[in-house]
Amino acid sequence: MASLGESRPDFRSKTVATLCSKGGVGKSTLSAQLLDNAARLGLRVAGVDLDPNGTLSRLTGTVAPVGEPSVREVLEGSATPQSVARKPIAWQPEAAADRSWLQGGPLLPGGEVHMVPAPDRGLDAVTSRSGTDVENALLEAITMSGFGEHYDMIVVDPPASTSSTLYLALNASQHLVLPLQTESAALSGLILTLEAAIKFSSNTGRPVNGIGVVATMLDRTTEHTETLEAARAWMSDRFAGQMTVLNPQIPRRTIIADSAARMIPVSRQVTGSGRYGDVAARYAAVTLSVVASVVPEKIGPIFDALEALNMPDELAEIVYAGFDTTADADADAS
């Protein structure tokens, strides 16, 4: 008997989405820094911008002008991800090959960043539609075109929403990273997003792996501290300790906004004296946790290369914080 089915590779296993139903929590900034750090660790990575505001595309300098193909055409089925992908020059490890890894250069060779950008306008006309075909459009595009074959990891950045765009991202992404601006309203958004992901997995049978929550824009106000503890308590109860807030946390620092304005990675802002090195190290640590979950086969050589650097103790403590269950690397986040 002939099989009429089609055997296709499942690229969901190498795709991670940054999700939160509340805007302004540093989600696209986190996506951008994941791309930069993963590439500097030697991975070929692609970003997919599903946000009608095009924030990730603007951060990387890749937004598609009116009339040029973008992720919109990919979702409509008139273009492949490969045909619209752009290579942001300033975000390539090779552009900082003369710098050490601690100052924004590459750790291992071979890393690259590509972007499937949002258009300058008009994406919401596609992403706001509902229906099974629409919500599977990105997964179909990545799978049918073989786009996933070319990358070690794909980072999907949808808008802050619980609408059809959330399910567009969930259908294409097996792994989730959830930024949490440590304010009470953001905690409600985090819970709403996680419950939607749980319901999605239950209804579709598609696995969803919650890598963890990343606390962003952290300062030492009472509200931030209490929100962070409330998030930990809720996840401990909901997931029996299997998902938590990742170490280390990301502080509220002007260097992050400055990097966004200049459309360069935070890691490139580290000076020869090591200024801002702690902030860059925090994004690197979060990226290590993500890489260990999405492409665990890559983590061994990365750790070998990191150990050969002989990092200063204060930076090593931050970089390895996600792998030390006793670490409390947020003590110096202010």
Q: Give the Cα-Cα-Cα angle 270, 33, 137 (nearest 5 degrees).
A: 165
In a domain, 328, yes or no: yes
The pLDDT assigned to 197 comes to 94
> By the 8 A CB rule, do 115 and 288 touch?
no
Query: What is the Cα–Cα distance from 39 to 302, expressed in whole angstroms?
Result: 12
In a domain, 224, yes or no: yes
The pLDDT assigned to 162 comes to 66
The pLDDT assigned to 273 comes to 73
The dihedral formed by the CA atoms of 127, 130, 135 and 140, expressed in degrees to the nearest 10: -80
The pLDDT assigned to 168 comes to 94
CATH number at residue 62: 3.40.50.300
Query: What is the Cα–Cα distance from 274 to 165, expressed in whole angstroms?
Result: 40
In a domain, 272, yes or no: yes
In a domain, 19, yes or no: no
**Domain tally, the chain:** 1
For tokens 């924030």, what's the residue? 55
In a domain, 73, yes or no: yes
In a domain, 14, yes or no: no
In a domain, 8, yes or no: no
Q: Can you give the pTM of this predicted structure?
A: 0.93
Residues (pLDDT < 50) of the chain are 1, 3-7, 325-334
In a domain, 10, yes or no: no
| Range(s) of the domain holding residue 40 | 26-332
Could you tell me if residue 145 is left (phi over 0), alpha (psi between -120 and 50 degrees) or otherwise beta? alpha
